Amino acid sequence: MAVRKDNKGILFTLPALGLLGFSILLPFLAAALMTLTNQRMLTPNPTEFVGLENYSRLLSVTVREVPREIDQQGEPVVDADGNVVYQRLQPILRSDPELRAYQTLTEFDVGPRRYAILAKDLVFWRALGNTFFFVLLVVPIQIGTALGLALLVNQDFRGRTAFRTFFFAPVVTSMVVASIVWSFLYNENTGLINQLLGAIAGSGVVAINWLGSEALALPSIAIMSAWQGAGFQMLIILAGLQSVDQQLYEAARLDGASRWQQFRHVTLPGLRNTLIFVVIATTIAAFGLFIQVDVMTQGGPNDATATLIYHAIRSGFREQDVAYGASVAVIYFLLVLAVALAQRRLTRSADER
Amino acid sequence: MRARRRLFHYALLGVLSLVFLGPLLFMISASFKPDEQIFEDLQSFRAFVPVGDITLDNYRAVFEQSRLLLYFLNSSIIAIVTVVFGVIVNSMCAFGLQRVRWTGQSFIVALILALLVIPFEVLAIPLMMIVSQLPWIAWHNGELTLLGSWFNSLHVQIIPFLGNAFCIFLFYQFFKDIPTDLDDAARMDGASLWQIYWRILMPNAKPVIATASIILFLIMWNQYLWPILVIQGQDTRPIMVGIQQFFGRTLVWGQIMAYATIVTLPVLAVFVFFQRRFVQSVANTGLKG
Amino acid sequence: MIRCSLLLFGIGLLSVTAAADPVEIDLWRHEAEVVELTASLEAVDRFNAEQDQWRFSVETLPQVTYTSAVTAAALAGQLPCVLDLDQPVVPNFAWSGHLRALDTILSTEQLDALSEGAKGTYKGAVYSVGQFEVVLVLFARKSELQRYGIRIATMESPYTADEFREALRLIKRESPEKFPLDLNAKDQGEWLPYGFSPWIQSAGGDLIDRNSYRRADGYINGDAAQAAARWYQSLFEERLAERKTFVDAQALIQGRAIFHYTGSWETNRYTQAFGDDLVIMPPPDFGNGPKAGAGSWHWGISSTCKHPDAAQAFLEFLLRPEEIAATSSARWQIPTTEAGATLTENYREGGKWRKLYEYSRSYAVKRPATPGYPKISAAFEKAMMDIRFGKNVEDALNVAADAIEFDVERNRGYGFSN
């Protein structure tokens, strides 16, 4: 490429770099510094350097064995079904000064023994797990939907512009509005979805607690997010489809390839770069899940929808613990960075192949 | 056979359209109904159509209870200013990175790619702490006044969003596909870098300008977290904070839906109007990788 | 310091305001319902009309994010001269130095006339004052109670917790599609501590030790607190109350609920909806009599206020009996002075809603007057949400106790010594 060397080129980048420096780098450095202090939003106490205390509270994890319940004879208690009965761990932790700050994250069995994973900031680990879970849910749902839609509206038929517009309509609906409308749709008692399901099933009352149950809340948010976002990916994939060489299809047809074979051997390879881009963009956006949670569930029930960003904003702004909120944010950034780097590496190795 | 296939195709599209438009149709229909009617219609497809006891009361109430027009104006100003300046600043940056080689350039490209993965939410609180202490000069009551903070202003809602790594990336990818023959020719004729950028690349970049504009517009129109942090007064409040506040206050479902409709429809209309151009521009943008 | 005029064109151009022009004073308040907001704006208009020295200009901010917004404004040094604040967060702003103490600004008689809930205090000093009070009540319709054969509770004999739950079970048995009790399950934030910490207190627990303001262990998670929280959990487990609603305070009107446990602020709406069929009853008794959180929205003066004399005059104006009565009449809010109550139609001796006034005098418990209250509130809110969705009650309350104590330590006791 005939690109000239000219150091004046830097001048063109300065306004944007200055703005990015101000709105991203500066606050980012500020956040990184803050994490080493105990800064609060409003306090008469001076801000102090506390080293890695915030991170240690955030990241401390340890494993302990859960003791069995012992009866008066000193025998392990077994319940009616023959299962071993374990003691409730929390009172034990609270009586041990070393473990007092810990809570049980989860328990697991190894042979006859039961172990508990303990963490100081339970919500952080839940939020971390939820964030990954959400990404794993929403990326395939959203991109799968988008791909399907794109294939449907890529054909030549009357009204395809109208259908594209229909599928894109949720994208121009703001996430705040979408979340408000969907809170109504998802409502257990009066929500449209349960009512429609009831009408379809004909049995009257369907009472699925979409946002109120730990198991369903995050998938519900994922479905709603995919609904809102799929139209955008559809357009990008559509663009990719249109750049696939039509001659390849003709050649495939001449070879007697079925529609599926055409899709598998012409469309998908032709879309490779588009799909990689779409996956990166969707993944990064999904990691930042916040608005839906803030409007629809506030992190509940039982932290089932707490996400990293939600945890950062709740600690840093609503609870005024700026330093701690910033620590969550920094960890979050490192994770997104790792994912982005991993994806870049994948793209590169695929390129070389 | 062909006809059956076509029928199936349209049926599938129809069902999917209902899924994608359903919630919006419901929102719009409900905005015209009193609450009893909304509740009654829930069990049938009447929920998606404005039929029955139709009224504009919800809209009247929304306009009476909220300074909607002001918020609308604020959001429009914020979005339009950001689009105009954002497109210029980011395309210039992409030009400087893609069309010219200079010392340290590859570092800057890597840096911008890295910035791409820092979500704004991470920075919101520290940035809020920073802008809370930044001075600004404004024309206030006929006097030039030094303000001690950026809070409660329009510029605090614009400046942080002008530089956009994703837009730079879009322009960068697009410029890559424009052959350099034209710039070479212009350079022979003694054109400066600025002239090459402004007279040659930008006129050829209309599709990506459209894409970047729509993306920036949507980002700005939907601002939510940031104004919650830095805007307290009504005078500069944007529209999404308006609706969130309204959602927290009203007891009437229909009014919430009316507000949501008012916030959504204009953007939807603008999109439908530019739809063709937008689809085209995405198709032609470097988005294909 | 916040907004200093630039001496741009020399001193000569500095506008010397004519003595006749009133000085503009900023005032912030949260956006309440239209009726309340209008009444409040009218009070400001009356004050502006009464004198020509100052002119208060009002800015209204959304209620959901009001406290956060005020916090952010305090950070930016942009607080207005006068602002309203939710009583429990007053100590936080007082501790961080953003409010003026009012003890020296308002007269002793004025302060003494106010009910306890009408004063926002921190370490003994008053930082805010309120014109009205709210109280927790149970709303229901007489006709519905009769239909199910449930007696009407009174101050002399409120429902005991067990009796109340039996009544709810009875309704559920006869009308399984109903959630008999509306508990404002959409509301997040302060509603949970406001609405449900009184249950803990009625059972004999509390949110924190009110002597030291440093210990929560044994209070918020004590046996009494656990018992009340378990009772609360059972409501959701037995589907006597809905776990999550889209819009609150509609279920009673739409006939989907029989009882609504909420603040007295709904009195007006329900009276309009049900007329004489409406009954207002005390909250359930968990053993130590019904309790209700005291302290509603208060007025305070920021420490950056440049015209404290104006602010003082405004607050004195607001505390006049006729102003308290006017505020009360507009929304049927409970007045905070006896003199104010006497001037109202509904709250004077023998008035229609006198019993709300008496509830507020008899049942009121203030939320802990510590700057750590936002954390206490958040921790308790989280615990109650978790309990609602099925978490082990003891575990949930223990977590709250530990979180509160950790926060107190991190903030060096919030100004309280050991």
Question: How many angstroms separate the CA of residue C169 from the nearest CA in chain B?
Answer: 26
HSE, CB side, 13 Å, CA atoms: give it for residue B96: 25
How many CB atoms are located within 10 Å of the residue C199 CB?
25
Task: State the Cα–Cα distance between residues C315 and C120, nearest whole angstrom.
Answer: 14
The secondary structure of residue C246, as a DSSP letter, is S
What confidence score (pLDDT) does residue B185 get? 86
For residues A222 and C265, give the distance between their C-alpha atoms in angstroms, rounded to a whole number: 37
Higher pLDDT, C382 or C248: C382
Which among C75, C92, C177 has the least Cβ separation from residue A205? C177
Average pLDDT over residues B106-126: 82
Contacts A–B by Cβ distance under 8 A:
288
Residue range C132-180, pLDDT digits in tens? 998 999 999 999 999 999 999 999 999 999 999 999 999 999 999 889 9
Per DSSP, the three-state class of A200 is helix
pLDDT at B285: 54
SS3 content of chain C, % helix, strand, coil (to 5): 45, 15, 40
Question: CA C351 from chain center: how many Å?
Answer: 23
Please give the sequence-ordered ranges of beta strands (E in DSSP) within C135-258, or none if there are none. Answer: 136-141, 181-182
**Quick one: pLDDT at residue A205?**
64
pLDDT band of A204, cuts 50, 70, 90? low
pLDDT in tens, C292-338: 988 889 999 999 999 999 999 999 999 999 999 998 887 778 999 99
Taking an 8 Å cut-off on Cβ atoms, the answer to whether C34 and B65 are in contact is yes
Q: Which residue has the tokens 């006034």?
A: C357
What is the CA angle C387-C388-C394, rounded to 5?
Answer: 15
Residue in C95, C378, C390 closest to A44 by CB: C95
> 3-state DSSP: chain A helix, strand, coil percent, rounded to 5?
65, 10, 30
Task: For residues A312 and A58, give the distance between their C-alpha atoms in angstroms, rounded to a whole number.
Answer: 11
Q: Is some CB atom of chain A closer than 8 A to the CB atom of C96?
A: yes
Q: Is B100 on the interface with A (CB under 8 A)?
A: yes
- Cα B59 to Cα B66, C33, C225, C340: the distances in Å are 11, 17, 46, 38
Given a cut of 80, whether residue A35 has pLDDT beyond it is: yes
Mean pLDDT, chain B, as a whole number?
A: 85
In chain B, what's the furthest Cα-to-Cα distance?
A: 78
> Across residues A250-272, what is the average pLDDT?
86
Report how far residue B104's alpha carbon sits from residue B17's, in angstroms, rounded to the nearest whole number.
50
Q: Which residues in chain B touch residue C249, judged by CB atoms under 8 angstroms apart?
A: 251
User: Which of B226-240, C184-198, C386-400 shows the highest mean pLDDT?
Assistant: C386-400
Nearest CB neighbour to B234, from listed C59, C65, C70:
C59
| Residues C63-83 as b or e (16 or more Cβ within 10 Å = b) | bbbbbbbbbbbbbbbbbbbbb
Distance from CA of B56 to the nearest CA of A (A): 19
Closest chain C residue to A213 measured between Cα atoms? C389
DSSP states of A155-191 = S--TTHHHHHHHHHHHHHS-HHHHHHHHHHHH-TTT-
First to last CA, chain B: 38
CA distance A143 to A140: 5
Residue holding tokens 């009472």?
A: A207
Residue C28 backbone zone (phi > 0: left; psi -120 to 50: alpha; other: beta): beta
CA distance C230 to B288: 57
Instruction: Report CA B211 to chain centroid distance, whole Å.
Output: 11
A314: left (phi over 0), alpha (psi -120 to 50) or beta: alpha
Residue numbers in A near B211 (CB within 8 A): none
- The rounded mean pLDDT for chain C is 88
Q: Tell me what ipTM this predicted complex has.
A: 0.85
Closest CA to C172 of C148, C154, C153, C193: C148
Please tell me the predicted confidence (pLDDT) of residue C238: 94
Nearest CA in chain B to A202: B43
Q: In Å, what is the CA distance from C35 to each residue of B60, C29, C328, C357? A: 17, 14, 11, 20
Return the number of other C-beta atoms located less than 10 Å from residue B241's C-beta: 26
Q: How far is CA B181 from CA A292, B98, B201, in A?
A: 48, 14, 12
- Is residue B220 within 8 A of residue A174, CB to CB? The reply is no
For residue B149, the chain C residues in CB contact (below 8 A) are 2, 76-78
Strands (E), B36-159: 100-101, 136-140, 143-147
pTM of the full structure: 0.82
Q: Closest-CA residue in chain C for B137?
A: C6
- Other CB atoms within 10 A of residue B133 CB: 13
pLDDT at C7 over 70: no
Q: Is some CB atom of chain C closer than 8 A to the CB atom of A259?
A: no
Write down the H helix ranges in C281-392. Answer: 308-318, 321-331, 338-342, 354-363, 373-388
Q: What is the pLDDT of residues B74-100, one digit of tens each?
A: 999 999 999 999 999 999 999 999 888
Structure tokens at A73: 């004879």
* Nearest residue, CB atoms, A336 vs list B17, B117, B161: B117
* C21 interface with B at CB cutoff 8 Å: no
Dihedral, CA of residue A138, residue A141, residue A147 and residue A149, to nearest 10: -110
Number of residues assigned to chain A: 353
Do C77 and B149 count as a contact with CB atoms less than 8 A apart?
yes
In this model, does residue C3 exceed pLDDT 60?
A: no
Spatial CB neighbours of B86, under 8 Å, sequence gap ≥ 6? B161, B162, B163, B164, B167, B212, B216
pLDDT of residue B280: 65
- Chain-chain contact of A312 with B267 (C-beta, under 8 angstroms): no
Cα C316 to its chain centre, rounded Å, is: 21
Distance, CA of C414 to CA of A272 (rounded, Å):
58
Q: What percent of chain A has pLDDT over 70?
A: 95
B81 interfacial to chain A (CB closer than 8 Å): no
How far apart, in whole angstroms, are the C-alpha atoms of residue A104 and residue A120? 9
> What are the pLDDT digits (tens) for C259-275?
999 998 888 889 889 99
**Tens of pLDDT, residues C77-94:** 889 999 999 999 999 999
Of B287 and C186, more confident: C186
CA-based nearest distance C36→chain B, Å: 12
Residues 6+ apart with CB under 8 A from B266: none
pLDDT of residue C4: 40
Concatenating the DSSP letter of every residue in A332-347 gives HHHHHHHHHHHHHHHH
Give the per-residue pLDDT at C9: 35
Question: What gap in Å lies between CA A90 and CA C203, rounded to an integer?
Answer: 24
Binary contact (B122, A329; C-beta < 8 A): yes
Query: In chain C, pLDDT over 70 holds for what percent of residues?
Result: 94
Q: Which helix (H) or strand (E) holds C211?
A: none
For residue C181, give how far its alpha carbon lies from the nearest alpha carbon of chain A (Å). 14
Burial of B267 (0-12, 13-18, 19+ CB in 10 A): buried
DSSP A289: -
